[in-house]
Amino acid sequence: MSKVYVGMSGGVDSSLTAALLLEQGHDVVGVYMKNWSTNLPGMKCPWAEDLADAKRVAVQLGIDFKVFDFETEYKQKVVNYMIEEYKQGRTPNPDIMCNQEIKFKIFLEASLEDGADLIATGHYASTLDGKLIMAKDQGKDQTYFLYRVTKEALEKTLFPLGGYTKPEVREMSKERHLWTAAKKESMGVCFVGSVGIRDFLSEYVSTKIGDIIDSETGERIGYHDGAIFYTLGQRKGLNIGGGKPYYVVGKSMEKNEVYASTNTSNDAMWTDVINAHSMHWISHEAFSGECLARFRHRGELVPVRVIPQKDDVVRIEFASAQRAISAGQSAVFYKDNICLGGGIIIG
């Protein structure tokens, strides 16, 4: 069987991934990717605890264990990208960039160079002949985060959890008495555990108080603590009291203003056509025509028509208008449960 390097994060999914591959007869090596170790004021980065948990599972399974330090590359390729996108008023997804630049590029390259035949992760997805296929558990499917992975990388990757639901994964982990079987999932920014994006950005970006403007009347209705923190369709965090709830319908980074409305039918929140750039097609062949698309993780799959334009841009036309699609997010395309690829939304 193959020698497989498993990315072990210290969580239940990657722990069971290693266990299943070992049971299948593979020569398994566990690898912890040290991507981020910086503490924030009042918030401790959980990397040391996660590393310890990954080690414990490796000892349980009797497999070799390594630590790959990608902290420098992660800061350059993922963190700096995320910060710059937010500074421009866009809403990036660091998990997507992490998969593209770290897990399925640098980690893959380092593993192959170290003697691996394949790599594996605990993502909820499947792959076959370089195709990326949606997971059995539609609620946990992570192909949205994986759409920028190359066909060549997918051919060297195993996703053992693609055919299981999360409850099944929990139960299988308990049956094997894995150390992490009952460990809770981490929430918040992908690389600093429970820290929210607002708290993280506050450490790296200087912000100032600005006006919240009623988009219908032009009147100031409140104050915000930095336009960078707000995204289209957002309701929480506006702190505007009384009457109907307000939603963010736009913002100006130059003026440091946030525009809000109580009108859920506000034209600024709805669109029936957008453009996307920086396209990545897994098969290397650009798609044109009708398919399904997703615009956020766990977002509904909606019918669209994809029309290639000049300069690596596609026009995306919706069968029905969609709400709160923000620049910087990803549009990801599907056909018959196969993820075709996608791009970054321009607007």
pLDDT tens-digit series, residues 65-114: 999 999 999 999 999 999 999 999 999 999 999 999 999 999 999 999 99
Nearest one of 255, 188, 183, 257 to 44, comparing CA atoms? 188
Give the whole-angstrom CA distance, residue 221 versus residue 25.
64
- The verdict on whether 291 is a catalytic residue reads no
pLDDT at 347: 66
- Residue ranges of alpha helices (H) inside 191-306 are 197-202
pLDDT at 187: 61
Give the whole-angstrom CA distance, residue 176 versus residue 160.
16
Per the prediction, the chain carries an average pLDDT of 94
Q: What is the mean pLDDT of residues 271-291?
A: 97
Report the percentage of the chain scoring pLDDT > 70.
Answer: 97
CATH class in words for 269-345:
mainly beta
What is 152-176 written as a DSSP string?
HHHTTEE-GGGGS-HHHHHHHHHHT
- What are the Cα distances from residue 15, in Å, to 9, 19, 32, 62, 111? 8, 6, 11, 12, 18
Q: Is 186 helix (H, G, I), strand (E, B) or coil?
A: coil
Domain 207-264 in the same topology as domain 3-197? no
Torsion 13-169-194-76 (CA) sign: positive
To which residue do tokens 């040391």 refer? 48
> How many CB atoms are located within 10 Å of the residue 309 CB?
12
Q: Would you identify the CATH topology of the domain 207-264?
A: SH3 type barrels. (2.30.30)
CA dihedral 307, 311, 313, 314 (to 10 degrees): 0
- Break the chain into its structural domains and give their ranges: 3-197, 207-264, 269-345
| pLDDT of 172 over the 70 cut | yes
| pLDDT of 144 over the 90 cut | yes
Chain segment 23-62, per-residue pLDDT in tens: 999 999 999 999 988 887 777 788 899 999 999 999 999 9
- The verdict on whether 45 is a catalytic residue reads no
Q: What is the mean pLDDT of residues 283-292?
A: 97
Q: What is the mean pLDDT of residues 188-216?
A: 82
CATH number of 3-197: 3.40.50.620
Give the whole-angstrom CA distance, residue 230 versus residue 233.
9
pLDDT at 199: 83
CA 94 to chain centre: 6
